[in-house]
Homo-oligomer: A and B are copies of this chain.
């Protein structure tokens, strides 16, 4: 199987269809690239595009997307609810198949370097690609947004970019380029309307309050259904997978006298994350995605 790298660039334009189309077209024009999804949000004035390609085509495509965005989006005129520092705001590379995280870090570096040099846009490397611990979290990189960073980059040495000039591009701003695992968005609904229980379970399992590593979790009320939900992002399913959190929630809920009603897998899930479910629930220790028939077909 050829290596498959995913990228999920976020662009600061969610209203002008012709601009979004031009950005998508410029990325799609690279042979071997497949655009999986384009989500535009007029309120956030932001578009999130999901594309895949091999190690080489994904670099060329995302560079072209950055270039087109820098030509068509003017951040001095951009308004929207979502925090942003650039026309192309965030550019993560995600290992899907036949490619390591280290290679995705290399890709982030080489695309980041090109954006810095050729487009004169400062680049901050984040998450697994971060060169400094204080840049692992995207929120920290994006602090102050375009308007705040425009001043800070000139005076605060800690805001020096990893690539590109030490000042914002006048209209395109800066870009956060990173490497991360695919996200798994997994929610578990409880047969209860007690938001306290959902919040307590979320707190038990999430990383930030001492639970499982690589888990973000919130307790939510689903008013329309009259039930509560533990809503999760698994930021590295190879560290903490779906069966682990499902079983933990089942146990925590059971101890509080509550049962699981049903679950939801939101959006796309990597095949390996699904194989983990079979492995645990059927007790098939040796099972791997190499045994999935379609994988042989597609390889």
| Chain B residue contacts of A263, Cβ below 8 A | 282-284
Q: Given that A277-B281, A281-B277 are known contacts, is A52 also in contact with B295, CB under 8 Å in the complex?
A: no
Contacts of A242 in B (CB 8 A): 278, 282
A271 CB within 8 Å of chain B: yes
- Nearest-neighbour CB distance to chain B for A279, whole angstroms, equals 10
**Chain B residue with minimal CB distance to A186?**
B282
20 more CB-based (< 8 A) A-B contacts, given A97-B297, A260-B283, A267-B291: A4-B294, A6-B293, A34-B297, A36-B297, A96-B294, A96-B297, A182-B293, A242-B282, A262-B284, A263-B283, A265-B287, A268-B291, A268-B293, A268-B296, A274-B278, A274-B292, A277-B282, A281-B281, A294-B294, A297-B298
- Knowing A265-B287, A287-B265, A298-B298, the reply to whether A270 touches B282 (Cβ < 8 A) is no
The verdict on A264 contacting chain B, using a C-beta distance below 8 Å, is yes
Nearest B-chain residue to A267, judged by Cβ = B291
A4, A97, A268, A297 — most chain B CB neighbours (10 Å): A297
Q: How many copies does the complex hold?
A: 2
Q: How far is the CA of A261 from the CA of B98 in the complex (A)?
A: 33
Which residues from chain B contact A261 at a C-beta distance below 8 Å? 283
Quick one: given A96-B297, A284-B264, are A292 and B278 in contact (CB under 8 Å)? no
Name A290's closest neighbour in chain B (CB-CB).
B268
CA distance A285 to B265 in the complex (A): 10
User: Which residues of chain A from 243 to 292 have any CB-CB distance to chain B below 8 Å in the complex?
Assistant: 243, 246, 260-265, 267-271, 274-275, 277-278, 280-287, 291-292
Q: In the assembled complex, which residues on chain B have CB atoms less than 8 Å from the CB atom of A281?
A: 243, 277, 280-282
| Residues B282 and A246 in contact, CB atoms below 8 Å apart | yes
A-B contact pairs, 9 of them (CB 8 A): A4-B294, A34-B296, A260-B283, A263-B282, A265-B278, A268-B296, A271-B294, A274-B274, A280-B281
Q: Which residues of B contact A295 (CB under 8 A)?
A: 271, 294
Chain B proximity of A127: nearest CB distance (Å): 19
Residues in B neighbouring A264, C-beta threshold 8 A: 284, 286
Interchain CB contact under 8 A, A268 and B292? yes
What B residues does A286 contact at CB under 8 A?
264
- Complex CA gap A265/B275 in Å reads 12
Q: Which residues of chain B are within 8 angstroms of A292 by Cβ–Cβ distance?
A: 268-271, 274
The listed residue (B36, B284, B297, B298) touching A265 by CB distance below 8 A is: B284
CA distance A260 to B56 in the complex (A): 47
Q: How many angstroms from the CA of A274 to the CA of B274 in the assembled complex?
A: 8
